Amino acid sequence: MRHAVDSDLLTLLDDVVHRMRERADQLAQGRGITHAQWVVLATLARRPGLSQIALASRLSLEPTAIARLIDRLEWRGLVERRSDPQDRQMRRFGLTSAATQILHDFSKHRGELQREITMGLDPATLVVVTNSLMIMKANVVTDQPDLCDREDEALAPAH
């Protein structure tokens, strides 16, 4: 017999996201990077030239956490720091060709992950679930416009 908490929407969403991220971590580790690094790469692929502050805001992380992630990605040759033409003290981040190749490879893994997660759902149900989640997302981010662009971040390995 199922407990009421097992069918609670918030508990289910949290559990699905947690397990999905565990699986995404496994896929990322197969390429020698962490899930967090994968998310940074995917975000920079969608929004090249972000500053540390903008990237931190977009990912809901502290700027110091972003700095550590960027340092590791730069050391691996996946991210470059570039000067801002209007502000010589500011650095903006861009992807290298090596990062682009990794993200291309990850798009295959994203498809695999999505198939695993949606196995057993017919296409019509998947459309309803997707639309419902988009509405829920809009409901929780209406006061945080930067977060509205975060589609796919839960599945960031896709890029």
pTM here is 0.68
pLDDT for the residue numbered 159 = 38
pLDDT in tens, 41-87: 999 999 999 999 999 999 989 999 999 999 999 999 999 998 888 88
Comparison of pLDDT for 24 and 40, the residue scoring more: 40
Q: What's the mean pLDDT when you consider all of the chain?
A: 82
pLDDT in tens, 99-147: 988 888 888 778 888 888 899 999 999 999 999 999 998 998 765 544 4
Q: What is d(CA 54, CA 84) in angstroms, rounded to the nearest whole number?
A: 13
- The CATH number of the domain where 47 resides is what? 1.10.10.10
Give the angle subtended at the CA of 159 by the CAs of 29 and 119, to the nearest 5°. 80
Structural domain total, the chain: 1
Structural domain range at position 154 = 4-158
